[in-house]
Each structure stands twice: as C-alpha cells, then as structure tokens.
Structure 1
C-alpha cells in the first residue's frame, strides 16, 4: 500500500512540475510577443524581428529611419529588374542608406510571394490598399502589418507601431521630433513668402491635356504646404476626402494663384531611367515641356511672373514618410530661395 501511495505522490509531483514548466514557457513566450495594431487589425509580433521585408518605399523609409536594414523590397514602379545589388543606383532617394544587396520582390501591388517566402522573413510590412488581397497569404509566411499609404502625416502612426514591434520606440520619437523641428524651421524661413503670396495652387500631372489633378490638403505634399503657412487653392470650400481631384486644363484660369507647384511624373519613363539618380530629370522633363508650351498654362499670372515650380510626384506619393518630408522641405526652400531674396528686399 505504501508503495502505491509513493507512486501516486511521485506522479502528482511530476505532473505539477510539468504544468509549471509549461506555464513558465508560455509566460516567457507571451512576454516576448507584442500585439501591434495596423489597418487590418491586430498582429502578434514576437521577439525582435531581424529579417524584415518592405513592400513599398514608405515602409522601406520607415525601417531605414529606425536604423533597420531590410532583406527584401518591392518598388511601386518598374524602375529596376533583377536583384538590388547596387541599391544606391537602383532605389531612388533611399538606396544610399542600404548597406548591402537585398532581394527585389517585384512590384508593390503584386509582390512575389515565392520570393518573400524564400527570404524566410520574420516580419512583412506593406500597404493596406495594394496588399490587402494577399494579406492572408503573407500572414502565413510571417507576421504582416499593413498600413494606409498616402495622405498627410499618415506615416507617424505606422512609424510608432513598427518601432514598438522592433523595440525602437525611442528612435521613432526622435524621428517625429526632428520632423517637427524641420517643418518649423522651414515655416519660419518661408514666412515672408507665405505672407506675400499666401495662395498656392498645387497640381499633379503627366501630360496637361490627358491627366491633370488639383492636389488637396489631404495629400502628403499638399498638407505639408499648409503646414508651412500657405493656403491651397481648391475647387470648393468643403473638406477634401481624397488627395486629388481631376480637372481639365481649361479651368486653370479660374484657379490662378500667386504660386503654382506641379507634381510631375512620367510612368513610362521609369523603365528608361537607367540610374535612380536620374529620377528628377526623367520624371519632370515631360511635364515641364508641356507646361511651357501650353497657351492656357502660360497665360496664368504665376507663369508670367516665373513663379511655377516642379517637384517629382514620386516624393509626394511614393515616399510620404520622414525622408519624403525632408526632400520636399528641402526642394521647396531651394526653389523659393530666389523669390525669398526678392521679398526680403521689398
């Protein structure tokens, strides 16, 4: 009888120890995981991801801003075929900050699922619009976070969420504070111009006669202009629900403003660009020629006063993120420098 009692006691103790081990293990796993909110819900991200895939330039920029290198990348436009073995020459604006070759995963809208799986990633970052249909498949490969892409200041929330997953929240706060300081410094530098020429018309176009859009404050660069103290000319006084509104070139005289900024793009030109360093010439040349040769465009007061400026649409819509903001602020200030000198002399 005693032997039976000893045996039962041994079994109970063993089961108790086993249960405690499982509980401790589960707690350890739980403590190393975080629930990250994103556009498609909540996702558990465990440990600190080391092999991260970015499915668009915005996600790539956020990673690089957090001092994290990706293992794979998908581009929004067909700029380069083959692996990114020379990123500084193959990835516009961001490639110089990539320290080693990375995999080319195709187009952001249709990334290679096979290519992603081969990389064995532990985190995938993408767009809630373009990558929504692949979300289930992507999540089977690795934890996947999808965020809204375009829009004014839509990068700060995903930056903070991704930083939380990577244990880099301090860095994300520093990035946001640096951005705030840059906007304020640029606002002060351009204050005399904003006072002299408060109304700005921002357009986006590839060819004036076939595609012309008026940019609203909901747009990344449109919102940035208003942050700097300018007021965007719009079609109506209603709050915009989209970043752009299609218009015809014939109504431009009704929208004339003191300053005009044009986001220019040339989609077919991407495949002929050669080096990513040629992006601005490649993307702006077509719209600049169209504007300078169009009678209605040249009849506008801003054109006649040489106050029409061009910025690549790629900056405003492909990288609406920390680096995109830095690039836009730098270009705005540089292009308005001569005007600033004239205003200050008055």
Structure 2
C-alpha cells in the first residue's frame, strides 16, 4: 500500500483526498435529503379530519375523498383541481354549466335537486351542499347516511370567495384557494385600469329567455363582477330593479327596458335558436345602446349566468374584449 501511494505525486494525493471527501459529502447530503423528503411526505399525507360546517354539524372528512358530489359547486372544485363524480343539471341533463364543459364533458349529470336515489347511484364518499335550504325537511340526515355531508353556507347566495376558501379548507387546499383569490384581485386591478382608460362607462347585463327579459342584480352573479369588483357605472334602471328584486336575475318589461341608460349592454341570448323575434321590436331598437350598436351578445353556455372564480374571470375577459379593446 505504501509503495502504491509513493507512486502518486502530492497534487494527485490532494486531488484524490478532495474527491473522497466530496463523494462522502454527497452521500451524506443524499441521506439528509432523503430523510427530509420522508419526513415531509409524512407531514403532507392527508388525514381524516373533523370540520364544522355552516349548520354546526361536525363532519368527518375522509383522508382522500375520491368520489366527491358537490352540485353547483363545480366552479370552485375545478379551480382547486378536483373533478366531481357528477355535475349539476336541469331538465334531465339538458342544461348544464356550459362554461365548465371543457373540464366536465365526460362527467355524468345529476338533477339539481339531488334526489336521494340519484345520489346513492353515484356512491359518493363526500357530499358538499351549497346552502342550508337544500337540506331542509330532514334531507341532511338522509344525505349524511349516504356519505359525510358538509353544508357550505346558510344563505341562498353565499359569497363566492368564502365558498372557495371553504372548499379549499375541506380538501386541505386553503393556501391554493388564497393564491387563486390573490390572482383574481390582481386581474381585477389590471382590468379596472383598462376600463378607466375607456372612460368607465355604464353597463347592464340582460338575459333573454322564452321571449322575456331579465336584468342582473346589482350585487349578485355577473352584476357583482361588473359593479362591485370592476366599479363600472350602474344604470338607474338596474338600481331600481335591484332594490325591489331578490333574485340573481329579475324580470324587466320591454317598456321599462326602453328607459335603460347604459352605454353598453351585454345580452345573454337563450332565444337565438328561434330567431329572437323580440329583438326586432321597435321598443328594443329604441334603446340608446342598441341604436349605437353597443350590444354584445353571449350564449347561455357562457359564464354570465353563473358565479365563481372561473366564471368571474371569464366575465372580466368578456367585458374587456367588448369595451376596452
């Protein structure tokens, strides 16, 4: 061994020693990293938790739910990367949330009122209910027998931000939900700057369905995005209807609509298939925004009739494309 070492010159010996030390250090680092990774994996492993819902129920949330049913909460679910086992629908699946179909096209439908037999058919391991009114009359107990059932809020129209945070909490994704909200507020800020450059006009969203008109509430659905988030001006007619109406979209007569003093109208047209004959009416054509050619038409399959972070971001994009090009 000594003879062998004598054949190496000093620089070679020093180099060899450094190589050995380097290899030893790498090995230790790998061991340390592996140990930390194992510890982190243990910390991040989902665990069964008990959360209290809006109605005071203590709900046992499965560690890693695979078959989630959350009718009309598909927007926050998808935003957080969770695909439900079934999706909300009306008229035996004829109407769904069209703006989400890129992600939900292969997901089967379930009636909006969640019949027990239909719920059982999907064998959910977690049920999330949008509002307390959906579980009145003993329904909660029946759903809870099928799977752990969590009620998001007590109101008919819960704040969508709070819904997103609640859903995030249920799935251990609250930080991701908070990041989504931060990104949304940044998008709103940028949009407001562009809208200010366009003169901050007054706008109204109108829904045409079965020959009747509805106007969005000032503080609900896409109205909240336009007026509260983006700060667009609220026409007098919209204020009047919103004060007396309680729904997201409230009926408005064509005669009243003729008084609409909006610079722009966003028209959700559910009657396009039958030619929308009412749009040829003289009263409709007399509306200033219509006469000025400032009506932007959207399909009911788009996001205007809904609310949630995905819907609202799409609405902002539609508005900017229409008035701040």
Same fold, judged at TM 0.5 (above): yes
Partner of 1:61: 75
Pairing of 1:198-213 with structure 2 (within 5 A): 199-208=202-211, 211-213=212-214
Number of aligned residues: 271
Partners of 1:311 and 1:150 in 2: CA distance:
26
Q: 1:231 aligns with which of 225, 230, 233?
A: 233
Alignment partner of 1:51: what SS?
coil
* Contact 1:309 1:335 survives alignment (8 Å): yes
Query: Is residue 2:100 matched to residue 1:94?
Result: yes
Q: 1:251 aligns with which of 244, 256, 260?
A: 256
Query: Is residue 2:131 matched to residue 1:144?
Result: no
Alignment partner of 2:169: what SS?
helix
Partner of 2:65: 50
Q: CA deviation at 1:201?
A: 2.8
Partners of 1:263 and 1:98 in 2: CA distance:
22
Pairing of 1:28-177 with structure 2 (within 5 A): 32-38=48-54, 40-56=55-71, 58-76=72-90, 78-79=92-93, 92-98=98-104, 101-104=106-109, 106-109=110-113, 111-128=114-131, 131-133=134-136, 134-147=139-152, 151=157, 154-177=159-182
Distance 1:291 1:41, change over 3 A: farther
- Structure 1 unpaired stretches of 5+: 1-30, 82-89, 267-283, 341-346
- Structure 2 unpaired stretches of 5+: 1-46
Alignment partner of 1:255: what SS?
coil
Distance 1:98 1:264, change over 3 A: closer
Partners of 1:219 and 1:230 in 2: CA distance:
14
TM-score by length of 2: 0.72
Distance 1:194 1:217, change over 3 A: farther
Q: CA deviation at 1:161?
A: 1.3
TM-score by length of 1: 0.68
Alignment partner of 1:69: what SS?
coil
Return the structure number with greater relative CO, CA threshold 8 A, min gap 6. 1
Higher mean C-alpha deviation, range 214-223 or range 294-303: 214-223
Partners of 1:43 and 1:299 in 2: CA distance:
57
Q: CA deviation at 1:328?
A: 0.9
C-alpha RMSD over aligned residues: 3.1
Q: CA deviation at 1:325?
A: 0.9
Pairing of 1:13-24 with structure 2 (within 5 A): none
Alignment partner of 2:99: what SS?
coil
* Contact 1:60 1:70 survives alignment (8 Å): yes
